[in-house]
Chain A
Amino acid sequence: MAEKVEIPVQKWSGRVREVTLGATKEEGGTRTRSVTVGGEATLPFLHFEGELPHPPRIAIEIQDKKPEEWSPLLLKAWEEVIDDPAAWAKKAEERGADLILLRLSLDDAQGEENTPEKAKSTVRRVLAATGLPLLIFGPGQVDKDNELLVAVAEEAAGERVVLGVCEEKNYRTIVAAALAHGHLVDSRTPMDVNLAKQLIILIHDMGLPLDRILMDPSTGALGYGIEYGYSVMERLRLAALHGDTMTQQPILVTPGEEAWRAKEAKVEEGIPEAWGDWEERAIMWETMTATALIEAGADVMVMRHPESVRLVKEAIDKLWVKEG
C-alpha cells in the first residue's frame, strides 16, 4: 500500500518584484512583445508552494563586431552573421532567444575607436532587425561605458532596454541615462549579498523605480566558483522571500561569458582524452552552468551558444510543470 506523503509547505512573507523588459507599440516602443520576469513567491520551480508567474528567460549575447577573443566554436556557430549585429540579432531570435543582449566594443571592426554615433547606429539597426527586448552593455571601461550608453539610451528612448552594467564605482551616469529615457539598468556587484543590496539602494536613491532594476550578483562557471555565486543568489532569494525589500529584484546572471572562459570550454589540445569531444564538452559546460543557476533563482540568463540555449530551454520546460 502506498504511503501518502505530505509535502511540507513553507509560507513566505515576501515576493520578488516583477520587471518588464522592452516596450511594444502600445507601451511606447517598437518591440513585438515585452518580457516580464520575476514575481516569484517561492523558491525556483516549487509550484506547489507558491506562485511563480514567469519562467526564467534567456538572453543571447551578441556583439557589435566580430568578437575575435571568443572561442572558435562560438564563431563557427554564428559564422554567417557574426560580422553584422543586426543579422546576428535576427538569427539569435530564430534560435530561441527571449531577449537580445548587445555588447558594445571599445573599437569597431576596422580597429577604430567606437563612438556614440557608431553605437547609436548599431542600436538602431539591431532594434530594426529584431522584435525582442534589448539589453545593451558597454565595453566595460568607465568613461567609454558612460559615453556610449548615454548616447544609445537616447537612441532607444521608449524601448525599455536594460542598460549595463552599473557597478559601485560607476553607476550614476548610467542610471541618469535610464531616468532620462525611460530605461532599466543592470546592477552588478561581486558575489556578496550586502553589496548587491547596497547598490540596489543607491540606484533606487537616485530616483529609479525598483521595477526598473535587475540585480546581477555575478557568478562563476561550473568548476570556477559556481558554488559561491550559487550560494549568494540563494541567500539573496531567501532574503527576498523573507521580506527584505531591497533584495526583491529579479536576478540576471551571465553563465555564457563565464562558462566560455573556462579551460574545459576553451581548450582543444593537450587535455586528457577522457574529456571527450571538445564541442560537446564546451556546450555542456555552458548548459550545466546555466541550469545550475536557474535552480538558484536566476530570472535572466545571458548565454552564447545556440545549442546550449536549446538545451537549457528544454530543461526549463521540463521543470516548469505546474501540476505535480
Chain B
Amino acid sequence: MSRFIATRAIRGANRIVQEAEDLLEKALAEHGPDTKVTFPNTAYYLPVILGLTGREVATLGDLKPALAQAGSLLHPVPRDQLWTPYLGEALDGGVATLLAEEAIMGIKYALGEQPERLDGYPDLVTAGGEGYCNGPIDDVQLRAWGIQLVDGRMPGFAAIVGAAKSNEVAVKIVRELQMRNILVFLCGNVNGRSIIHQLLEEGVELGYDTYIIPFGTDTISAIYPLGFATRSALTFGGMKGGQAREILLYNKFRVFAFVLALGEVDDLKYATAAGAISYGFPVIADTVIPEILPTGITQYEHVISMPFDDIEGQDDLERAERLVQKCIEVRGVKVKIAEIPIPVPYGSAFEGERVRKDDMRIEFGGKKARALEYLLMRDPDELEDGKIELVGPDFDEVEEGGAMDVGIVVEVGGRKMQKDFEPVLERQIHYFLNAAFGVQHIGQRDIAWIRISKMAADKGFRLKHFGEILYARFKGEPWNSIVDKAQVTLITDPEEMKKWLEAAREAYNERNVRVAGLTDDAVEEFYSCTLCQSFAPTHVCVISPERLGLCGAYNWLDCKAANQINPTGPNQPISKGECLDPEVGRWSGPEEFVYQHSNQSVEHVTMYSIMTDPMTACGCFECMVLVIPEANGVMIVSREDPSMTPAGLTFSTMAGIFGGGLQTPGAMGVGKYYLTSPKFISADGGFKRVVWMSSFLKETMPEEFKAVAEREGVPDLIDRIADERSVTTVEELLPWLEEHDHPALKMPPML
C-alpha cells in the first residue's frame, strides 16, 4: 500500500480513536454508564461494532470495551525510514476508525446531538426530521432497499464524501448515479462546504423517495453507509454479529458500493477510506492522491485518483459524467438498459421477418453495395461507454430502394473479455439487428446484407439506431457478464470505410489462422454441453477445438464464452487430465466427466473413433456417420437428405435408432464441420474411410472438402465418394467403389 496513504490513515485513526475516548469519558462523567445508546429504528445495536466485534452496545458503559478494542488495532505512524508494506496496519487503522466513529455517533445520539441539524435549509426533510440530516437508515428501509440490491434492480450504492467542484457538478454527479438506479449516500465536507449544501442550494430533493440520503456534513457520518452495509450482511447474508471476516467478504462480493471522495482528502478521510476498503469498497478521488492499483482486498483497484480538471471532456459536466463512469467500472457495477431507444418495435418475434424489394427503403451490402461488421476488443480505458457515432452521411440522400455502403464497428471492453470472444460476440450482431421490426439481416463479416423497410424509415429509423440496438444488447444480459463497456461506430464515409474494411479483413484472417491453429493438443480444457439432456438424459457432448458439438451450433470458442457468461450453465470446462490413448483420443478428464454427467451410465468415451467408445448421440446431430462393413468404410448422411441410404435406413430412422443418448460403436452423430477436421475418426483411418456421402454436403461445402481431399493425399477423393444420386443400396455401392478405385477398399479392415 502506498506509504503516504498508510501514514495518513494510521495518523487519522489514532486521532479519531483518541477523540472518541475523550468524548466517552466526558459523557460517562456527565451522564453515567447506564445511559442508553441506540440508533433509532434498528434492531442491530450499533451495527458496525456489532458486526465486526459481536458487541451489543446498549449503554454508554458498553462502549468502553468497544473502544478499547479499537485502540488495540492501532499501530504507530510509520517512521520515515520504514519501508515495509503498511497494508495490514492501515486496514487495522481503518477498522479502528470505523469503531470509533460509530461510538462517537452512538454517544451523540445518547446526548441528542444526532442526527445533524442543518440550519438555513428548510427544504431538507428526511427520516431524521424536518431540517435534519438522515442519521442511520432504519431497518424497514434497509430491507426494502436490500431486496432490490440483492435481486439486482439496484446495482449498488455510492458514498460521496466531501464537496464537488461546483454546485452544477454536484448535481450532475448525483443525476448520473440516479439514472443508473444507484443509491446515493452523502456525507463529509471540504472547508465546511458539503455536497449536501450544494444539492440543497440547487433544489435537489433528498430523502428515501429520491434515493439520495444526506447523512451529515462531517466525515464521521460516513459510518452510517457502512452500518447499512454491515446490516445488509447480517440481514441478507444470514451472518451473526462478530463474524467480521464473513461480513466483510459478503460486502466485497455482493454489495456493489464505492466511495467517491470529492475535494481534498484529510487524515480522517484516509482513515475512513481504509475502513471502507476493508469492506471491499474502492475509493475514487477527484483530486491528486497516490493510487493503489493492485487488487486484493477490493475486487479490482483499491484507490483511484482522477483529478477532476484533468479528466477529458468538453466541460465540467462531461467530466462529471466520466468520473461516475469510472467509479462504476472500478467497482464492477453492472447497469442494465431498460428499453432500447429506437422508433420501431423490437423483439425476437421479428427475427424471421423479410423485407421485400418493394417494401425496402434502403439496403446495405448485397449486390450493389458493401456492408461490413466487425467487433473488436479494446482496453476499457480507451472506450467511451455508450458512444454511438456516425461517420459520414445517413441514408436520407439515397433514393428509395437504393443501396449504400455501411461499416458497423463495435468496440467492447471488459475485465472478463477475451480476444477469443470477438467472433462469438460478432456473430450476435445478426440476431440483434434482425430483432428490430423492419430490419432484415443476412450474412456476417464483410458479406453482411442488411435491409431497412420503408415503414421503419418512415418512423424515423436511421443508422444510429443500429448503434442503439447493439449497445443495449451487448450491455444486456447475458452478454454484460463479459462486456463492461461498448461503443458503436457506423461508417458510410468512403475513406473510413476503406480503412476499416482493411482492418477487418486482416482481423478475419487472423481469426481464421487462430482457429486453424487451435488444436486439441494446444489446449488444456475441453468443454461439455449437456443442453440436450432434457430429452437425451445420458448424452454429454465433449467439445474440443477439433471437434465441435454434434448439433453444429457450438464450437470450442462458443463454449468457452458461454461458460464465462453463464458459469452454472450447460457448458462446463472439462480438464483433459491424463492422456490414456492418443490414438483414439481418450483422456481421463472427459472419461470421468461423461461418467458423472451421464447419470453414471456411459463409462468410456473417445474423441476420434467411431469403433471404440464413440461419443453418445443426442438426436439433433447435423450428420449421421455409420459404418458400412461391406465397404470397409463409413457413410455420412446429412440431416437435409431424406433419401434412402446404402445402409437401408433413412436419416430420420437412424436418428431414432442411434439418438437419445445412446453409445453405439459403428454409429456416430456429428456436426458437419467435424467432417473436415484432421481428427475426424482419425483412429479409424480418417476421411479416406468415407465411401458414401449425401450430395447436399458435397454441394454446400465444396471448398472445405476439396481441402480435406488434398490433405488426405487423394485430391479427387470427393469424386470417388458415392452419393444418393448414384447409389442407394449396398449392392450397388461395392461395384461403384471398385469402379472408382476408392482408397477404403485397400485400407486395413475396420472391424
Residue positions of A touching B, CB distance < 8 A = 146, 150, 154, 172-173, 175-177, 179-181, 191-195, 198, 201-202, 205-207, 209, 231, 235, 238-239, 242
Contact = CB atoms under 8 A, between A and B. Distances in A.
Given A192-B533, A193-B537, A177 B147 contact: yes
A179 B534 contact: no
A173 B238 contact: no
B152 interface: yes
A183 B569 CA distance: 26
Nearest to B142: A180
Contacts of B152: 172
Given A209-B238, A242-B600, A195 B534 contact: yes
B600 A173 contact: no
Interface in B165-192: none
6 contacts: A181-B143, A192-B534, A194-B534, A195-B534, A206-B150, A207-B254
Nearest to B570: A194
A180 B238 contact: no
A179 B533 contact: no
A194 B541 CA distance: 14
B153 interface: yes
A6 B147 CA distance: 56
Given A154-B143, A192-B533, A235-B599, A172 B238 contact: no
Contact of A175 (B150, B238, B530, B570): B150
A242 B152 CA distance: 35
Given A154-B143, A198-B568, A180 B235 contact: yes
B151, B152, B569, B599, most chain A CB atoms within 10 A: B151
B657 to A, nearest CB: 20
Interface size range of chain B in the complex: 20 to 34
Contact of B150 (A176, A202, A209): A176
Given A172-B150, A242-B600, A193 B533 contact: yes
Nearest to B534: A192
Contacts of A154: 143
A2 to B, nearest CB: 36
Contacts of A231: 537
B236 A194 contact: no
A-B pairs, top 6 by smallest CB distance, nearest first, are A172-B151, A176-B150, A173-B151, A176-B147, A192-B534, A176-B151
B146 interface: yes
Contact of B153 (A173, A191, A193, A207): A173
A150, A173, A180, A193, most chain B CB atoms within 10 A: A180
B533 A202 contact: no
B600 A179 contact: no
B568 A201 contact: yes
A180 B236 contact: yes
Contact of A173 (B147, B237, B534): B147
A202 B477 CA distance: 15
Contacts, number: 63
Contacts of B254: 207
Nearest to A172: B151
A291 B150 CA distance: 39
Contacts of A191: 534
Contacts of B147: 150, 173, 176-177, 180
Interface in B136-174: 143, 146-148, 150-153
A207 to B, nearest CB: 5
Interface string B225-237: 0000000000111
A207 B599 CA distance: 28
Given A150-B147, A179-B237, 19 more contacts: A172-B150, A172-B151, A173-B148, A173-B151, A176-B146, A176-B148, A176-B150, A179-B235, A179-B236, A180-B235, A181-B143, A191-B534, A192-B533, A193-B533, A194-B533, A194-B534, A198-B569, A207-B250, A209-B238
Given A177-B147, A179-B238, A180-B235, A202 B600 contact: no
A125 B531 CA distance: 45
A193 B531 CA distance: 10
Interface in B665-680: none
A98 B143 CA distance: 31
Contacts of B537: 193, 231, 235
B255 to A, nearest CB: 11
Contacts of B570: 194
Given A176-B236, A180-B236, A194-B530, A239 B143 contact: no
A238 B599 contact: yes
Nearest to A192: B534
A175 B533 contact: no
Interface string B521-550: 000000000110110010000000000000
Contacts of B150: 172, 175-176, 179-180, 206-207
Contacts of B569: 198
A288 to B, nearest CB: 25
A293 B162 CA distance: 63
B599 A239 contact: yes
Nearest to B235: A180
Interface in B288-312: none
B481 to A, nearest CB: 13
Contacts of A179: 150, 235-238
Interface string B557-572: 0000000000011100
Nearest to A231: B537
A198 B531 CA distance: 12
A192 B147 CA distance: 29
Contacts of A172: 150-152
A172, A179, A202, A209, most chain B CB atoms within 10 A: A179
Contacts of A235: 537, 599
Contacts of A192: 533-534
Nearest to A150: B147
Contacts of B236: 176, 179-180, 207
A180 B534 contact: no
Given A192-B534, A195-B534, A175 B151 contact: yes
A242 B151 CA distance: 33
Nearest to A180: B143
Nearest to A212: B238
Nearest to B144: A150
Interface in B542-595: 568-570
Contacts of A181: 143
B660 to A, nearest CB: 12
A173 B146 CA distance: 10
A193 B254 CA distance: 28
B553 to A, nearest CB: 17
A175 B599 CA distance: 29
A150 B254 CA distance: 20
B151 A202 contact: no
Nearest to A204: B568
A238 B600 CA distance: 10
Interface in B236-258: 236-238, 250, 254
